[in-house]
Structure 1
Amino acid sequence: MQARDLMETDVQTVASDDDVADVFRKFARHEFSGFPVVDEAGRVVGVVTESDLVDLFEPEDETLWIPIGLPPFVDTLTYQVKAPWADLDLGVDMVRNADRPVSDVMSADVATVTPDAPIDEVLDLLAGDDPDINRVPVLDDEGRVVGIVARQDVVQAFRDTRLD
């Protein structure tokens, strides 16, 4: 079995210069959690996930430093603080980030395969050390997307072969 046997050929992509707001809308319209990002020639230059966009609304510094004692405060306590979603002003954050290009938030290091890649290569990527890899774009010799293999595609293929 090869990547071509598992891949979905109707692949939704976004352009590297698309606005974050456009990508949010695309996530709302499609049941995907990530899109390959392509340049003007259609070559893959990255991948953007829902998590990448959610990160725009999380505070960068979640560490709270509390001074102990009297000045000059030679000792501190450190706490991790996670602000609840209800306390964040999503409207302001959306306006602030809406015009940013997706290239600012995408992951540029993309795990890809060719259509002839054996299933073991796809499995190594999807079940490897990087838990964030949930889909693998399938690229032609020019670096253009011809398909995509999601983790669920591999699981379904193995289920189907067991039922045969």
Structure 2
Amino acid sequence: MTTESAPISAIESSIEIDAPPARVWEVVSEVRNAPQWSSQAVKVIALGGRTSAGTRAININRRGPLFWPTTSRVVEFEPGRRFANRIAENTTVWAFELEPTSSGGTRLTQRREVPHGLTLLSRFLTDRAFGGQKNFSRELDQGVSTSLQRIKALAERG
């Protein structure tokens, strides 16, 4: 089993949204909302009620004809400030950070953090099914920009 030796890096992008942080928080902090804006999530089944710290979810993701499940847990939940979900299968953390702007809007940053590297299984499957780490990371980076544009549209619609 060979895998690319390129290091796995964090992905980060930001956007200015013409909506207050409370409105943006409503969109990004409920895991069930992800299919409305995510470039890959097509279904999220949250276990329990409204999303809060510790909420677990089963996620169905799609890339072209490929579908795959992941499981996640909310590891940070600071209302109006930071929301983060850890994906069990690869240990990445997908986080949103919200900052109020001087105009009354919100600067939203989405980040994929890789604090412990990826699991061997995740690296192997990404190399085999998604064209390698470098290609998949580039695709995820583009997906983050798409997601932020969709979140902006949802939040600004009110």
Same fold per superposition (TM over 0.5): no
What TM-score, normalized to structure 2? 0.26
The structure whose Rg is larger is: 1
More strand by share: 2
